[in-house]
Amino acid sequence: MRMKNKYRKSTPFGCNAGSRCSLSFVVWGLVGCVLLLHLYSLISHGDKLEGSREFHLNHFQLTRELEETQDEGFQIPPPRGKRSPRAAKRRPKRPTTLIEEFLDENSQFRHLFFPDQGTAIDPMMEAGNDSLHFYPGSMWLDTDGNPIQAHGEGFCMLRNWGCTTGTEKTRMVPHTMLTKKELHGGLTHLSVTELKIKVDIIGVSCYSSKDLWTWKNEGVVLAGEETDLTHDLYKLNVLERPKVIYNDKTGKYVMWMHIDDTNYTKASVGVAVSDYPIGPFDYLYSKQPHGFDSRDMTIFKDDDGVAYLIYSSDDNSELHIGPLTDDYLDVTRVMNRVLVGQHREAPALFKYERTYYMITSGCTGWSPNEAHAHAAESVMGPWETMGNPCIGGNKVSRDTTFFAQSTYVLPLPMLHGLYIFMADRWNPAALNDSRYVWLPMTVKGAADKPLDYNFGFPLWPRVSIFWHKRWKLPNGWNG
């Protein structure tokens, strides 16, 4: 009689070690499961890839016209006719530059930079093929037929419409107290005569729109103070670059702004709050954040709801970045210094996928200068400089950000990587006649300039701002 082996053990698959259960059968069974899972993954991925191809194809068709550069920029026409010998002797040793013509309120070419009302964008009059077209630098009218006054603007996108806030600059007053050092951190090329005009604080104006082209004036949502000399918003003080964000926890709309005195020595931020995006806003207080001077500033709300204050500091030689408190009404103690020694201002932040980007301006007062694009893996930095993002026009217009200064970058829903770059074309001789330069901007392709911290190997896609004399958003931009 055959004895059973008491030491015979069962395998994990239920087969006795001495049975005829083939180990190869088990192995091939596992392989088959893996192949089936892989096949399913390929089919699923193929569907997603086809959908991705279709999306990118549609995106390309929608945006390719916006990415075609226009080489024609600002060019001073040659003088008409021949100069007399006497006039030729009086001719200056060097030709007048485009920037000098831009700053000269008596320039015969001023209409190139500030076209008159005959070329104004009037949404109530436009029809047909001219509808929804932007003309950078042209006068822009609201639905009441008045020039839009929302400079240094911020933007608040809501479900079916958006609103923009900016400073009202309709009342001009003579002003000769500004000096080169007091205005923008020791600049040397500006003279007091170029700064003889300033704007009283009238307040923060608000406009609403459903198409980003037709704007309704919602009025002054934060008014200046006419009589109280001690108030931050007293009419002879300075209010610039108001930005509004919504706090999901408190249900409040919070406005941050640059607050200063007549001589730009207060260098503070101001905070106001409202229950509605179109106000009215209640002014709360001003302070120097983190104990440092603050001039050009912006705020940025991340995907996780954390908001940040970004401001030029230390006489505009660097930028400071720090998170706000949960209610957005103050800064926390956390702050990082970035772009140290680079003298940048007018920050405009946005996010593309998992990377943070920022457009900044040089510090040259009302005189236009070259924009820089920056990128970072964290809002708090370090930030790397990617170079000039401007494309098209001519070299002078590219080196002057198309004679404008950054204020905000607006992402466009359903168009991945496409944004509107918003800037002000300041008119130093008449700030109330300053203009808006809105241009299409993309984030794509490899950066074309080595960055600061990565040993010369570009890490992030290039930021590109495309010059157009006339352009419109692609159909279906809002989904």
Retrieve residue 436's tokens: 């808006």
Among residues 308, 328, 329, 330, which one has the least CA distance to residue 320?
308
In the block, which residue shows the tokens 């680079």? 342
Cα distances (angstroms) measured from residue 354 to each of 179, 302, 351, 378, 460: 42, 11, 7, 9, 10
- pLDDT interval class at 66 (50, 70, 90): confident
Exposure class string for 85-104: b at 16+ Cβ within 10 A, else e:
eeeeeeeeeeeeebbebbbe
State the average pLDDT over residues 425-436: 90
The answer to whether 293 and 344 are in contact (CB under 8 A) is: no
State the average pLDDT over residues 286-303: 97
Ordered domains of the chain (ranges, CATH): 96-342+403-436+466-472 (2.115.10.20)
The predicted-structure confidence for 319-374, as pLDDT tens digits, reads as follows 999 999 999 999 999 999 999 999 999 999 999 999 999 999 999 988 999 999 99
In the block, which residue shows the tokens 């996928």? 353
Helices (H), 75-178: 85-89, 98-103, 110-113
The predicted-structure confidence for 144-155, as pLDDT tens digits, reads as follows 999 999 888 888
Instruction: Kindly give the pairing relationship between strand 461-466 and strand 390-391.
Output: parallel
Among residues 317, 321, 313, 177, which one has the least CA distance to residue 238?
177
Instruction: Report the alpha-carbon angle 102-394-317, nearest 5.
Output: 65
- pLDDT interval class at 180 (50, 70, 90): very low
Amino acid at 99: I
Cα distances (angstroms) measured from residue 149 to each of 82, 193, 396: 43, 25, 27
Residue 311: pLDDT above 80? Answer: yes
- The rounded distance, in Å, linking the Cα atoms of 122 and 444 is 33
- pLDDT interval class at 299 (50, 70, 90): very high
The answer to whether 449 and 387 are in contact (CB under 8 A) is: yes
Instruction: Give the DSSP per-residue string, 409-473.
Output: EEE-TTSTTEEEEEEEE--TT-GGG-EEEEEEEEEEEE-SS--SSSTT---SEEEEEE--SSEEP
- The rounded distance, in Å, linking the Cα atoms of 420 and 453 is 28
When mean pLDDT is compared across 125-134, 160-169, 443-452, the lowest value belongs to 160-169
Residue 269: pLDDT above 60? Answer: yes
Task: Note the pTM of the prediction, 2 decimals.
Answer: 0.79
Which range, 72-76, 289-293, 408-412, 448-452, has the best average confidence (pLDDT)? 289-293
Strand partners, 207: 164, 217
- The rounded distance, in Å, linking the Cα atoms of 113 and 137 is 7
Widest pairwise Cα distance in the chain = 136
Q: Percent of the chain having pLDDT more than 90? A: 52
The predicted-structure confidence for 215-233, as pLDDT tens digits, reads as follows 999 999 999 999 999 999 9
- The rounded distance, in Å, linking the Cα atoms of 281 and 283 is 6
Retrieve residue 342's tokens: 């680079």
State the average pLDDT over residues 375-388: 95
- CA 380, distance to chain mean position in Å, is 17
- The rounded distance, in Å, linking the Cα atoms of 135 and 123 is 12
